[in-house]
């Protein structure tokens, strides 16, 4: 699974966990539509990127977006999605066959 996020104060800790090849028991990722939970996750790659600078729609010159982004690739044992609307949940477990 790939997560794209803004580079911030947490970024060095994320890279440290990748360098140690740490197994993260629980990783929770909040999205606008709900929450994704990874169980026994491992960070396998981090790539930095800077999006092309340009104004956000309708923002004029004050809305120029130049923040660095990082793309984080995870492997995991189990993934669960819990949506905000209707509280629907889905999951998948890579340990089960079929």
Q: How far apart are CA 4 and CA 30, in angstroms?
A: 12
Q: How far apart are CA 70 and CA 33, in angstroms?
A: 21
pTM equals 0.73
Q: Where are the domains of the chain?
A: 2-54+64-93
Are the CB atoms for 14 and 24 separated by under 8 Å? no
* Four-point Cα dihedral 90, 98, 25, 5, nearest 10: -60
Q: How far is CA 13 from CA 8, 17, 19, 27, in A?
A: 10, 6, 10, 14
Q: What is the pLDDT of residue 3?
A: 94
Instruction: Give domain 2-54+64-93's CATH superfamily.
Output: Hcp1-like (2.30.110.20)
Condensed to tens digits (0 to 9), the pLDDT of residues 46-75 reads 998 866 655 555 555 555 555 789 999 999
């Amino acid at each position: 699974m790939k997560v794209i996020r803004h580079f911030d104060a947490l970024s060095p800790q994320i890279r440290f966990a990748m360098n140690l090849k740490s197994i993260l028991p629980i990783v929770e990722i909040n999205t606008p539509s709900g929450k994704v939970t990874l169980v026994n996750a491992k960070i396998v790659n981090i790539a930095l990127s800077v999006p092309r600078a340009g104004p956000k729609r309708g923002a004029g010159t004050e809305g120029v977006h130049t923040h660095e982004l990082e793309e984080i690739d995870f492997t995991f044992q189990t993934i669960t999605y819990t949506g905000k609307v209707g509280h629907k949940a889905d999951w998948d477990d890579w340990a089960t066959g079929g």
